[in-house]
Structure 1
Amino acid sequence: MNRGRLGTVVVVVASVALVLLVTADLLRPSPAPPTRVATALVRKGTVRVVARAAGTLVPVNQQNASFRQAGQLVEVDVRVGDHVQAGQVLARIDPGPLQDALRQAQARLQQDQSTLDNTVNGNAVQTARHNLDAAQTQLQHTVAETTLAVQEDAATVLQDQRFLANDQTTLRRDQAVLARDQSNLNRDQAHMASDLNALQQDQARLASANAQLAGDQGQLARDQGQQQKDQGQLQHDQQAQQHDCAVAPSGPACAADRQHVSQDNARVNQDQNQINQDQDRVSQDQREVALVQGQVSQDNARLQADQASLSVDTPRVVQDQTLVAQDVQKVQQDQGKLLSDQEKASADQVGGPKEVAAAQAQVTAARDALTQQTTNRATTIAGEQAVVAGDDAAVNNAGQNLSETVLTAPSDGTVASVNGAVGESVTANGGVTTPQAPGSVAPQPNPSGAGTAPAGGIPPASGGPATASAFVVLSDVQSLQVVAMIGEHDAARMEPSQSATVSVDALPGVRLPAAVLAVGPNGTVLQNVTNYLATLVLQQGDHRLKAGMTASAQVVVTELHDVLQIPNAAIEHLGGATYVTVVGSDGTERRTAIQTGQAGDTTTEITAGLRAGDRVLLPQPPPPAQGDLAYAGA
C-alpha cells in the first residue's frame, strides 16, 4: 500500500515539472529576427519624364449657323442630336418686317424712277418757275406777318406796363392807409392796456382799503366791548364801595373799594380814548375807500372808451388788409402777364427772322432749281439716274435680307446646340466665330468656370467649345481631340508628335493612346499661373466618348532607353555632391559618389560611379515595436 502511494506521488510530481517546463518555454521571448534591408538592383532600363494635363474632348470639326438678320422665330426644324446635310433648312424667322422693307425699297425706286422720267420727258422748267413764284409770294406773306406780330407785341407790352403801374400805385395807397389805421389800432390797444393796468392797480388799492377799514372797524368793536366790560366792573366796584363805606367809612374795605373804583375809572377813560382813536381811523379808512372807488369808476369809464375805439379801428384794419392783399394779387397777375407778353415778343423777334430766313431759303432753292433745270439739265438727269441706281441696289439688298430669314446648314454634321424656340427673338449674329485650338480646326474649350487645379497646377477645362452665342452649332461627333491646359514648365518641354495616354473621367479604366499635335504660342494667366493650350490627337477611338467630357493626359516629354538607372529614392545629395549607399554581397554598406544624367519621374540615369548588378540601399521603414516582435515570436 505505501509503495503504491509513493509511485502515485512520483508520477504527479513529474507531471507538474513537465508542465512547468513547457510553460516556461512558451513564455520565453523569441529572439529578434535578422534585420532585412531594402535595396534596389542597378540595371539598364528606361528613364521617363511625363507631363500631366487636364483638358476637354472637343470635335475636330464644328460649324456655327446663325441668322444674319434679327427677328422672331416662327419655325425651328431641328433638335439637338439630329444629323443634317448641307443646305437643309434649320429654322425660319418672321419675314414680315423684311418684306415690308422690300416693298418700301421698291416703292422708293418706282417714285425716283418716275421723277427721272418726268425730268427727261416732262416740262420741268415751267414747274420750277411756278415753284419760284410761289416761294416769293410766301416770303412776302412771312415778312408781313412777322412785322405785324412784332408791332402787336410791342403794343401789348406797353399796355401791360400801364396796367401794372396803375395797380402798383393803388397798392401803395392802400398800404399807406393800412399803415395809418394799424398805427391808430396799435395806439388804442396801448391805451387800453395802460387803462386796464391802472384799473387793476386801483382795484387792488380798493381791496386793500376795504381790508384796512374792516380791520379798524373790528378793532373799534373790540375796544367798545372792552369799555363795556370795564364800565360793568366800575359799577360793581362802586356798589361795593357804597356798601363798605356805609358800614365802615374808615375801614380797610372802604379804602380798597375807593382804590378799585379809581382804577376802574382810569380804565374806562383809557378805553374811551382808544375808541376815539379807532373811530378816527375808521373815518379815515372810509374816506380812502370812497376816493379809490371814484378812481376805479374813472378807470372803468376810460376802459369802455378804449373798447369803443378798438371796435372801430379793428374792422377798419381788417378791411385795409383785404384791400392790400387784393392789390398784391392783381400786381402779381399784371407782372405775370407782362412777363408772358415780353417772352412772346422776344420769341417773335427771334422766330420772325428765322421764318423770313427760311422763306428766303425756299426762294433761293426754287431759284437754284430753276437755274438747274434751265442750265444744268444734263447734270440733273445724271444725278437722278444715280439715285435710281442706288434705289435698285437697295431693292437687291432688301431681297437678300429677305432670303436670309431662312437658316440652312452650311455643312453636314450633328446638331450640338439650338439656342432659341418658336416665338422668341433672335439677334443678327453674322459675325459669330469660333476660336480654334492650336494646330487644329477644333474649337477651344471654354475656360470659364474652371474647377480646382490638380496637383500639377493646371486647372481643368470645363464645358464644351468656347463659342459665341450661335443659333445652331453643328459638330462632327465621330472625330474628337483633346484640348488641355498645361503649365509653362511643361509647355517648354512639350513638342508635336510626343506620345501620350488619355483617360476620361466618365470611363474609368479606359486609357487611349494619343500624340501631341501642337502647343499654343501664347499663354493665359489663370490663378496667377501662366498656362498654354495644347492639342492631342487620339490614336484610338471609343464610341462612348462625347464632346465636352473631362479628360486627363499624360505626355511623355523625355524618354531614354537602355540606360543605367536606379530609383530616385536611393539618391542622396550632400554638399553639392550626389551619393548612394552600395550594399555588398556580405551585407556591408559603403557610401559611394556617383554622377547622374537625366532625372525621370521615378528613376534617374547613372553616368558614373555604379555598375550593372550593384545593389543600392533604399530608405528603410521604421523598425517594429518590441511588443510586435514578441507577438511575432509567439
Structure 2
Amino acid sequence: MEGATSRARSRAARPAAVTAAVLAGAALLAACGSSGTTAVASTAPVERATISVGVSGAGTMAASSSRNLGFAAGGLLTSVDVQVGDTVTAGQVLARIDRFQLEQLVVQQKANLSSQKAALAKLENSPALQGTRNTLAQARTIRNATSSQVAATKRADRVALSRANGALNSAQAALAACTTDCASLQAAVVSAQTAVSTAEQTLKVATAAGKVSVASAEQGVVTAQNAANSAASDRPYTIAQQKAAVTTAQSLVDVAKHNLSLATLKAPFDGTVTAINGAVGEYLTASTGTSAEAPGTDAAVPGTTVVAGTSTTTRAGGTQFMVISATGPMTAVVPFQELDAAGIVAGQTTTLTFDALPDVTTTGEVTAISPAGTALGGSMSYLVTVSLDTSDKRLKEGMTVHATVATEEKKDVLSVPNDAVRTENGQSVVTLVDAAGAQRTVDITAGLVGPDRTEVVSGLAEGDQVLLPTSTTH
C-alpha cells in the first residue's frame, strides 16, 4: 500500500503575472493573425454548480469483513472441503483435523464425572451419621444400666453389712449375758466381727468398682456424642466439597466437548475463501494470528508479510490456515499523510478510481479515520476507511485505488470556469461580455476554488457570459 498522498490546493492566489501573460498572448495573437492564423474567442455562462476541494491518496481495496481462520489446538489435517475462490455460507464445514485424541479426552472426562457423582451419592446416602447417633443412644443405655447395677450392688452390700452388724450385736449381747462356759459365745462374737469386716470391705470394693464402671460408661457416652457431633458437623461441608468436585468434572467434560467441536472448522459468515495454507496430511500448528482491522470496520488491512529465513515474501493469508472475506460491497483502505489527514472526517464524499479498471469511477463516503498514525515511507500516515457506493464485481481485494476526499464542498453556488478569472492589482476580475458583444472588466468576490471552477460570491448574476482565454486556429 503506497503511503504517498498529494494535496489539491485550488485556493492558491493567481499571480499578478497573469495579466502580463494575457497581454503577451494578445501580441502573439496579432503576430499569428498576420501569418494566416485565426484568433478564436469563446465565452462561458455564469451557472450554478457544486465546487469541492480535497486531498488525494493511493490505497488498497479490501472486503467489508475478513477473518483469519485456524484450529485452536492444531493437529493433523484430515480433510479440506473447500478451495480458494469457493463461495461459502455461514456454518458450512470448511476443514477438519484428526479427532481421536480429542474424543478419548471426552471419554476420560465423562468417566471422571461419573466417579465424582458416585462419590457424591455415597456421601448423601451414607448411614454414618445415623450410625453415630445409634452408637450414642446405646452408650447412654449402657451408662444407665451400669449406674443401676452399681446402685443395686451397693444396696445389697449395705444390707449384708447391716445384717452382719446385727449378728455381731446379738453375739455380743449373748456373750455379755453368759455366766458360765462362754467359750462358744466368744467364738460367735469373733465370727460375727469377721463377717462385719468382710461386709464393710465388700461395700468399699463395690463402691470403688461402681465408680469406675459408671465413669467408663460415661466416657463411652462422651465418645459417642463427639462422634455424632463430628459426623453431623462435617456432613454438609463434605457434601458441598464433593458437589464442587462434580461441578469441576462437568466443566472438564464441557471443555473437552468444546475442543472436540473445534476440530471441525466452520464458516463464521457468508463469504469467499481467499486463502488456504495447508494440505491434507500436513500438521497444522495452533492458530494464534490476528487481523489488523481498518478503522471503524471489520475490514482487514490488506497485505501480510511472511519472513522465511533471510528473505521476505508476501503470501496470501500470511501464516493463517484459511482466510474468508465477506460477500458484499468492498471497502477502500487509504493512508493519508498527516497534513492531509487533519482535514478528513467521517461522512465526507470521496471519488475513487482504479488502476486495473480505468473505465470505472465511483464515489464513496469516509467511514472512519484511525486515531493513531503509522510510519509509512518515512512520514506519519493515518489509515482512512471509505465505503463504496458500487458493488462492481470486477473489484477485488488488493486492487490499487486512488481516492480523493472532498474536505470542503459547496453545493448550488454561482460559479465560472477557473480560466475566466484573473487578478488585477490584487483584485479578482473577469471580462463580462454583453449580448451585443461588448466587453468590460468586472470585479468579483471569489469564494471556494475547485479543480476547474471558482465560486462567485458577488459581482455576477446567473446567466452572465464571461470571456475565456483566447485560443488560436491555423
Q: How does 1:561-580 map to 2 (within 5 A)?
A: 561=412, 563-567=414-418, 570-572=421-423, 577-580=426-429
- 2:268 counterpart of 1:410: yes
Q: Which residue of 2 aligns with 1:339?
A: none
Match of 2:365 among 516, 519, 522: 516
What's the CA shift for 1:469? 5.8
- 2:308 counterpart of 1:475: no
Q: Which residue of 2 aligns with 1:547?
A: 397
- Higher Rg: 1
Cα gap change, 1:386 to 1:597, in 2 (>3 Å)? closer
What's the CA shift for 1:384? 2.4
What's the CA shift for 1:61? 4.5
What's the CA shift for 1:533? 1.0
- CA distance, structure 2, for counterparts of residue 494 and residue 117 of structure 1: 66
Q: Which residue of 1 aligns with 2:52?
A: 49
Letter of the 1:515 partner, please give it. Answer: G
Preserved contact between residue 331 and residue 387 of structure 2 (Cα < 8 Å) = yes
Match of 2:244 among 341, 366, 386: 386
Structure 2, unpaired ranges of 5+:
1-29, 130-228, 306-313
Preserved contact between residue 58 and residue 481 of structure 1 (Cα < 8 Å) = yes
- CA distance, structure 1, for counterparts of residue 325 and residue 272 of structure 2: 5
Match of 1:531 among 369, 373, 382: 382
Matched residue of 1:507: which SS?
coil
Q: How does 1:208-247 map to 2 (within 5 A)?
A: none
Preserved contact between residue 482 and residue 551 of structure 1 (Cα < 8 Å) = yes
Letter of the 1:601 partner, please give it. Answer: P
Match of 1:484 among 322, 326, 334: 334
Preserved contact between residue 599 and residue 605 of structure 1 (Cα < 8 Å) = yes
User: What do the CA deviations read for 1:316-348 (whole angstroms, capped 9, x no partner)?
Assistant: xxxxxxxxxxxxxxxxxxxxxxxxxxxxxxxxx
Letter of the 1:48 partner, please give it. Answer: I
Letter of the 1:535 partner, please give it. Answer: V
User: What do the CA deviations read for 1:120-146 (whole angstroms, capped 9, x no partner)?
Assistant: 678999xxxxxxxxxxxxxxxxxxxxx
Match of 1:72 among 72, 76, 88: 76
Preserved contact between residue 583 and residue 617 of structure 1 (Cα < 8 Å) = no
Q: Which residue of 1 aligns with 2:355?
A: 505
- 2:427 counterpart of 1:424: no
Cα gap change, 1:593 to 1:490, in 2 (>3 Å)? farther
Q: Which residue of 1 aligns with 2:112?
A: 108
- CA distance, structure 2, for counterparts of residue 121 and residue 47 of structure 1: 86
Preserved contact between residue 484 and residue 534 of structure 1 (Cα < 8 Å) = yes
Q: Which residue of 2 aligns with 1:613?
A: 465
Preserved contact between residue 46 and residue 465 of structure 2 (Cα < 8 Å) = no
- CA distance, structure 1, for counterparts of residue 123 and residue 433 of structure 2: 116
Preserved contact between residue 368 and residue 386 of structure 2 (Cα < 8 Å) = yes
Cα gap change, 1:550 to 1:469, in 2 (>3 Å)? same
Alpha-carbon RMSD across the aligned residues, in angstroms, is 4.7
Q: How does 1:287-326 map to 2 (within 5 A)?
A: none
Match of 2:96 among 72, 88, 92: 92
TM-score (norm 2): 0.54
Matched residue of 1:546: which SS?
coil
Preserved contact between residue 414 and residue 474 of structure 1 (Cα < 8 Å) = yes
- The share of aligned pairs that are identical, in percent, is 26
Match of 1:446 among 283, 288, 302: 302
Letter of the 1:82 partner, please give it. Answer: D
Letter of the 1:381 partner, please give it. Answer: I
Letter of the 2:46 partner, please give it. Answer: K
- CA distance, structure 2, for counterparts of residue 475 and residue 501 of structure 1: 24
Letter of the 2:386 partner, please give it. Answer: T
Letter of the 2:388 partner, please give it. Answer: V
Preserved contact between residue 346 and residue 365 of structure 2 (Cα < 8 Å) = yes
- 2:460 counterpart of 1:600: no
- CA distance, structure 2, for counterparts of residue 606 and residue 60 of structure 1: 41
Cα gap change, 1:99 to 1:594, in 2 (>3 Å)? same
Letter of the 2:451 partner, please give it. Answer: D
Cα gap change, 1:97 to 1:32, in 2 (>3 Å)? same
- CA distance, structure 2, for counterparts of residue 464 and residue 592 of structure 1: 63
Q: How many residues align?
A: 325
Letter of the 1:414 partner, please give it. Answer: T
- CA distance, structure 2, for counterparts of residue 386 and residue 105 of structure 1: 15
Q: Which residue of 2 aligns with 1:200?
A: none
- CA distance, structure 2, for counterparts of residue 53 and residue 474 of structure 1: 27
Preserved contact between residue 67 and residue 404 of structure 1 (Cα < 8 Å) = yes
What's the CA shift for 1:82? 1.6
- CA distance, structure 2, for counterparts of residue 87 and residue 608 of structure 1: 63
What's the CA shift for 1:432? 5.0
Cα gap change, 1:398 to 1:581, in 2 (>3 Å)? closer
Preserved contact between residue 60 and residue 302 of structure 2 (Cα < 8 Å) = no
Letter of the 1:108 partner, please give it. Answer: N
Preserved contact between residue 56 and residue 551 of structure 1 (Cα < 8 Å) = yes
User: What do the CA deviations read for 1:62-88 (whole angstroms, capped 9, x no partner)?
Assistant: 455433433332222221112223332
Preserved contact between residue 446 and residue 464 of structure 1 (Cα < 8 Å) = no
What's the CA shift for 1:99? 2.9
TM-score (norm 1): 0.42
Letter of the 2:325 partner, please give it. Answer: S
What's the CA shift for 1:443? 0.5
User: What do the CA deviations read for 1:151-178 (whole angstroms, capped 9, x no partner)?
Assistant: xxxxxxxxxxxxxxxxxxxxxxxxxxxx
Preserved contact between residue 344 and residue 369 of structure 2 (Cα < 8 Å) = no
Cα gap change, 1:489 to 1:121, in 2 (>3 Å)? closer
Matched residue of 1:79: which SS?
coil
User: What do the CA deviations read for 1:281-327 (whole angstroms, capped 9, x no partner)?
Assistant: xxxxxxxxxxxxxxxxxxxxxxxxxxxxxxxxxxxxxxxxxxxxxxx
- CA distance, structure 1, for counterparts of residue 447 and residue 423 of structure 2: 15
Cα gap change, 1:578 to 1:567, in 2 (>3 Å)? same
Matched residue of 2:364: which SS?
strand
Cα gap change, 1:69 to 1:83, in 2 (>3 Å)? same
Q: Which residue of 2 aligns with 1:171?
A: none
